[in-house]
A and B are shown apart, each in its own frame.
Chain A
Amino acid sequence: MAEKLTQEQVSQLEKYAQSIRYSIVQMVTEAQSGHPGGSLSAADILTTLYFAEMNVNPNDPQAAARDRFVLSKGHAAPVLYATLAEKGFFPKEELLTLRRIDSRLQGHPSMKNLPGIDMSTGSLGQGLSAAAGLALAARLDNNASRVYTVLGDGELEEGMVWEAAMFAAHYKLDNLTAFVDFNGLQIDGPISEVLSPLPIPEKWAAFNWHVIKIDGHDIQAIYDAIQTAKTIKGKPTMIVAQTIKGKGVCQMENIADWHGKAPSREQCELFLSQLNELETQ
């Protein structure tokens, strides 16, 4: 078992996560368009990946040996952009160009537009297949790089996800680690009411994946799960991360309406002050 993060490391990662959340609220407000709820729910996962695990270098974004990340739930682009900016792939000021004409920050991630994006996504269901292809390419090249992807829980309703699930397990892609951002909500309401993909962990286990269930806002737990996944041989790993949609902004938390709605400028000020308070606590 890999070493635990120190309390100091966890605190530092939590600060990054809060800063990323701050950027998400800011950029979606500035754009008056975008998907804050599912971006906020995935912030701790992306923070842990990019700041505690993944081998990526903002000064060499195409390095062959880098780890790859595919945001299968591409509508959560704000969390990816905020994370990449925090990591230094491009200036933070550019976040405020989200969804504007001529911006590199497209509504959904475009790998040809922005450094640090390993796969273009946005149409749900397609990212896991691409991640599996990347993992297979790495294996063929004896490249030790690992591939990470984050799916939405509503996204599991896409049939293609299960084609990819079979494929990754059949070809024993143990260099592939996926997360489900299990926040329980999709555009039209709770996933259990719209079209239930439940039970989620059992489904992945039945598809021959190694499954780990965690609290998706517990940085230490996220880190531990990633370390465990690296030790699992012959199977891809699915980390089912229980999360809260809109996490960090109490008016947004667990409200499906915040899936794809931008805060007003007044709301934004309130939300940002909340995030500031959290950071100073």
Chain B
Amino acid sequence: MSDVIEQGTKASATVPVADRVVPYALLAELTHRCPLQCPYCSNPLELERSSNEIQTEDWLRVIDQAAEMGILHIHFSGGEPTVRKDLEVLVEHAGRVGLYSNLITSAVLLTRDRLERLRDMGLDHVQVSFQGTTPDIADRVAGFAGHKKKLQAARWVRELDMPLTVNAVMHRQNLHQLPDMIDMAVALDAERLEVAQVQYYGWALRNRAAFLPTREQLDEATGQVEEARSQHKGVLVIDYVVPDYYARRPKSCMGGWGRQFLNITPSGKVLPCHAAESIAGLQFDSVKDKPLAWIWEESASFNLYRGTGWMPEPCRSCDRREIDWGGCRCQAFALTGDAANTDPACELSPHRDVLEMPLKESNAAAPDFIYRRIGA
């Protein structure tokens, strides 16, 4: 999840470093419950049980605090956010305080009536995930026969005149369907297509050898995206996320730790990114104990990797240190054991060789999936 912030009259303008950092977006993970079992799920390996979920009044308070802080976007996510019966109440409240609301859903539990109700409560946008373009692949990846229902729900979104994003999670087992996925998004009359190649944290890291494409697959996909962008200019916006194992420089993860984005887990913990709990030893404050603004500005976890002061070499003296912010802390931890290291997705990282094995695996036969399940 990375909001694109564009400025002025030209799109190429970069975001200047402000004196006071105001977050742009809040990812509200209402629950970890989900009927799908995608082996690349972005939820942590330790899934939160429903009995630990914070209550409606907690979320209402958080939404007020978020708007007060200057947050602009709220993404209702999960797990599957539609399992929460109070979703309508939260959507309505977000609209009332001026937040732009987005529903990030698998869509398999939606009815047309509920979508209509959510729209009438002020829901601004719907993002439906797809695991492929055909049921054989999509349902096998999701561990759930939901592909046809997703298509149906996406059509309802447009029938109800709501804007639609198709979120296509792509990897070595479905990347050959990318041209069909682009056609599918156009046929569904989506405003936006997110071609999100799997990122390797948590569940996806466990399943990396089953997902990481080869360099050749990736290059072919990149060419197809570029072609589609020019073909569908002004009709379909395509956002493209590549697996950074093939990058020369790391991604600007979350636009920098504690700079633009915060995530609230089902139990109320506030994280600088949705994978941050994978970093051992970090403590995160909860909205049950502290105001959101305090956590953003003062908490130890948000200040730990904020800015550039924590950086080691080669980041510290790098002229890109305020462009990519050292890459991803979670990836640095997962691959090197220390979150303060330069992300190995950077060619300059002294740990770059940790990527050799996974890149080799991408050319070997894909192993079976380890599906996302409680206690898997």
The answer to whether A binds B is: no
